[in-house]
Amino acid sequence: MRIARVGDIGNERPVVVEGDVAYFVDSIIPDWSRESLEAGALAKVRAANLQGLEKTRFGSERIAAPLTRPTKLICVGLNYTKHIAETGANTPAEPIVFMKAPDCFIGPNDDVIIPPGSTATDYEVELAIVIGTQALYLKDPSEAPAHILGYSISQDISERHWQIERSGQWVKGKSFPHFNPMGPVIVTSDSINPHDLRLWCSIDGEMRQDSSTSDLLFGINHLVWYISQFMELFPGDVINTGTPSGVGMGFKPTKYLLGGEKIRTGIDGIGEIENNCRNFSH
């Protein structure tokens, strides 16, 4: 199943996507949110007869972020070997985990806003894990799949000056508004094999990142298990699993986003998203 949300900001509605048709399911559930997922939203929608519901062509109106107000946006750093090499960092013995403000979620095709004065805004294609049921103190990684709702595309925009140079606290460079486009859909875990998916990112038509989730240093199930050892995970929480090599910081000279660029981001089996970069203006 592929789930999503469509509509203008403030008027988004939950849908199920089949092919190019989006079926509105707000007569069954309020939204794709933590509260509705805890109340069994996915099972309710699965049991419904979609053919009798209002529908539209998916993409004929704004596609919103596929979740509303997730409690947490958790990120994993340095989780692809070649990306570790391009940053000059040591290979971590355990996952590097940090947080990103959930308020920076935007729709998959919304504009990315470059912060005032930034000359080091970067792009990062990532596979996003969406949690489906509460998880805490899982015994081992084999328990993780039962707690995963599905997967989506995240574009983990990063401001490297605030992330690295201003005391090295990563959350500072990750939480600007508009810094996490996500979508276009969440593909439920029973409909996709997340362990060997091509993921890529191009800037103005130039392919910058092109890799596979099979190259993850710490795999998907390991990450969910590991994070559950020190943080309670709830339905609708998102885990960005890390980015492969090819980020702007890794080029000599660097290839950062300065405004005016078009970012295209894709993951096989999920789709593509596209964001125009523009500079902040009052």
Q: Are residues 119 and 230 in the same domain?
A: yes
Check residue 86 and give its pLDDT: 87
Residue 71: which of 45, 35, 39 has the closest Cα?
A: 35
Whether cis (ω within 30° of 0) applies to the bond prior to 184 is: yes
Check residue 71 and give its pLDDT: 92
pTM (two decimals): 0.97
Structural domain ending residue among the three candidates 46, 64, 82: 64
Q: Are residues 233 and 110 in the same domain?
A: yes
Q: Are residues 122 and 34 in the same domain?
A: no
Query: What residues make up the domain containing 214?
Result: 73-279
Q: Are residues 35 and 133 in the same domain?
A: no
Q: Are residues 29 and 103 in the same domain?
A: no
Regions of the chain short of the pLDDT cut 50? none
Taking only the tens place, the pLDDT of each residue in 35-50 is 999 999 999 999 999 9
Structural domain ending residue among the three candidates 15, 44, 64: 64
Residue 119: which of 71, 173, 184 has the closest Cα?
A: 173
Check residue 38 and give its pLDDT: 97
Angle at 34 between CA 31 and CA 37, to 5 degrees: 70
Structural domain ending residue among the three candidates 64, 90, 113: 64
Q: Are residues 115 and 40 in the same domain?
A: no
Question: How many Å is the maximal CA-CA distance in the chain?
Answer: 56
Q: Are residues 152 and 234 in the same domain?
A: yes
CATH of the domain at 80: 3.90.850.10
Check residue 156 and give its pLDDT: 98
Taking only the tens place, the pLDDT of each residue in 147-167 is 999 999 999 999 999 998 887
Q: Are residues 39 and 127 in the same domain?
A: no
Given a contact cutoff of 8 angstroms between Cβ atoms, the answer to whether 211 and 198 are in contact is yes
Check residue 227 and give its pLDDT: 98
Domain count, the chain: 2
Q: Are residues 147 and 51 in the same domain?
A: no
Secondary structure element (H or E) that encloses residue 4, with its range? strand 2-6
Check residue 41 and give its pLDDT: 98
Q: Are residues 218 and 253 in the same domain?
A: yes
φ/ψ (deg, to 5) at 61:
-135, 170
Q: Are residues 209 and 93 in the same domain?
A: yes
**Burial state string for 246-266 with b = 16 or more CB within 10 A and e = fewer than 16:** bbbbbeeeebbbeeebebbbb
Check residue 282 and give its pLDDT: 80
Q: Are residues 116 and 249 in the same domain?
A: yes
